Amino acid sequence: MSIDKVRNIALAAAVILPAIASAGTYVESIAANHFSGQVQKQDMKMWAGNGRFRMESQNGQQVQIFKDKTIYVLNTGAKTYSKLDKAAMDAMNRKVSEARENLEALLPPEQRKKKQPESKPKIDRTIKATGRTESSAMGQTCKVWEVFTNGAKVQELCVVEIASVPAGKDLFATIEQVGAAFAGTAAANGMAEVSQDMKTMNGFPVITRTYLNGKLFQEMKTTSIKSAATPESLFTIPAGFTEKELGDI
């Protein structure tokens, strides 16, 4: 999706106006991974606006861009990128199914007959307010919610009201658009959970703690959130980048 530009007959305006961008949201976070004995920290930056987002990690070496119902994954060091849209996701799922069928074809006939179609495990996901509050890295007071899957705690979210987030409604709409772009895929399920959680909590998570087997796995804290310009250049693949198949990047 391209941003709207004011048209002007003056030559000077024609030169200046392409640099003008609509305001969006800039979010800066730090994630601390606790899966090893030594805590590993990673900075992340995100720009969102007009149904698009750009996320950077590893000091800008890894970049993800979402626009026009497609996610682009960039490796800036190697100057490569891959693209993932619903068609690519469906193709990946077909390859996985074909590989599984080929493996099953190698089984002895008696084992193939015994093999029953796999049923999807039932997932009971609930989200509850705790009544607790914390202070975010930005000094805001946030409300703590807990997320449970089949009775096990998997996340803790501390949120501020969406209305307090610069261009918060637009940010929320962008998250919903990602889910809609990948409807019917595993990626859509995850994004649907994020948007539904934000609706339920009426908030944006500024602290996210992820738990695995009852232990803290990762903690992500938002350190800055503000209005920012979202020029077209943020969502454009740089010249000189080569497209790679997904998985080869």
pLDDT in tens, the chain (249 residues): 333 322 222 222 222 222 333 578 999 999 998 877 666 788 999 999 888 999 999 888 899 999 999 999 999 999 999 998 888 777 777 777 777 777 777 777 766 656 555 556 677 889 999 999 999 999 999 999 999 999 999 999 999 999 999 888 888 888 888 878 877 776 666 767 888 889 899 999 999 999 999 999 999 999 999 999 999 999 999 999 999 986 554
Residue 6: inside a domain: yes
Which pLDDT does position 188 carry in this prediction? Answer: 62
Sheet order of strands, 62-67 included: 125-135, 141-149, 152-161, 203-212, 215-229, 23-33, 40-49, 52-57, 62-67, 70-75, 80-84, 242-243
Which two structure tokens, joined as six digits, stand for 233?
A: 């250049």
105 assigned to some structural domain: no
Please check whether residue 64 lies inside any domain of the structure. yes
The whole model's pTM is what?
Answer: 0.75
CATH of the domain at 148: 2.50.20.10
Three-state DSSP at 79 gives coil
> Is 202 a domain residue?
yes
**Counting runs of H as helices and runs of E as strands, what totals does the chain give?**
5, 12
In a domain, 134, yes or no: yes
Which amino acid appears at position 223 of this protein?
A: T
The reported pLDDT for the residue numbered 148 is 95
Structure tokens at 174: 């962008």
Q: Identify the pLDDT of residue 5.
A: 29
Bridge partners of 225, per DSSP, are 27
The pLDDT, as a whole number, for residue 187 is 61
Whether 91 and 83 have beta carbons less than 8 Å apart is answered as no
* Total structural domains within the chain: 1
Q: What contacts 65, CB < 8 A, 6 or more positions away? A: 52, 53, 54, 55, 71, 72, 74, 234, 235, 237
Residue 168 covered by a domain: yes
Q: What is the pLDDT, as a whole number, of residue 121? A: 67
Residue 104 lies in a domain: no
Residue 31's Cβ-count burial label (10 Å; 0-12, 13-18, 19+) is middle
For 76, the domain range is 1-84+121-249
Query: Would you say residue 226 lies in a domain?
Result: yes
Q: Give the model confidence (pLDDT) of 46-88 as tens digits.
A: 999 888 999 999 888 899 999 999 999 999 999 999 998 888 7
| Tokens of residue 120, six digits | 């999807």
Position 58 scores a pLDDT of 84
